[in-house]
Amino acid sequence: MILGGTTEARELASRLAGDTRFETVISLAGRTADPRPQPVETRIGGFGGAEGLAAFLIAEEVALVVDATHPFAARISHNAAAAAKAAQVRLLALRRPEWQAEAGDAWTGVGSVAEAVTTLGDAPRRVFLAIGRQEAFHFEAAPQHSYVIRSVDPVTPPLKLPDATAILATGPFAEADEIDLLESHHIDIIVAKNSGGAATYGKIAAARKLGIAVIMVERRKPADVPSVGDCDTALERIDHWLSPA
């Protein structure tokens, strides 16, 4: 079973879809109103915490869980680690590598979105929020700033902020388009999550070119889980762990 919601999860599912040695199921949280169709059997919705997930793994006789959830979906990954241990099921994490700061980057690392809010400071800034919609509410605590907030689905309930522009868009986002966006909105600081991967890196490269500061929210995933960084390595590990030979 692949815990999904990411491009990597979908790619892994596509590559396992034709493999008759395995029955592959992908699990989605059901957050996105109109999810892209998946190439394998799909179940949607939460399991009811780590206990519910453990019960599901046992009932469905799952042999392997691949946690390919988004780098910032922390709760499901902690649940997966606890459930796999309780149900004695193998767990493999598929996590894209984090972005690393390069020469010319002006990043301030923070441990949470709430910390990003205080790091913006008291003086009004023009902020591009590229952290998804679920944690955008934290910025209601800092109404002195102007915000451009980009998300796939609308932020609900609408944010109580005097100056906020919503942009609904789905990546990938090209660097040249990100430069246009940052310049046209006169952005002077970006709040981003260190998601890794190419699809949303455009804004980071654009910030470097334009000399714009980035408050980078770092990940908080469980550390003690066998982990791979790409689909090829995940497939090798699955083959090694699950092949009868």
**Closer by beta carbon to ligand NAP, 66 or else 212:** 66
Shortest gap between Cβ of 52 and ligand NAP (angstroms)? 6
Judged by phi (left if over 0) then psi (alpha if -120 to 50, else beta), residue 117 lies in alpha
Shortest gap between Cβ of 53 and ligand NAP (angstroms)? 6
Nearest residue relative to ligand NAP (C-beta): 46
Shortest gap between Cβ of 152 and ligand NAP (angstroms)? 8
Contact residues toward ligand NAP (CB under 6 A) are 3-6, 27-29, 31, 46-49, 52-53, 69-70, 72-76, 79, 132, 134
**Closer by beta carbon to ligand NAP, 40 or else 53:** 53
Shortest gap between Cβ of 73 and ligand NAP (angstroms)? 3
**Closer by beta carbon to ligand NAP, 128 or else 179:** 128
Q: Which residues contact 239 (CB under 8 A, 6 or more apart)?
A: none
Other beta carbons within 10 angstroms of residue 78's beta carbon come to 15
**Closer by beta carbon to ligand NAP, 132 or else 202:** 132
Shortest gap between Cβ of 28 and ligand NAP (angstroms)? 5
**Closer by beta carbon to ligand NAP, 70 or else 179:** 70
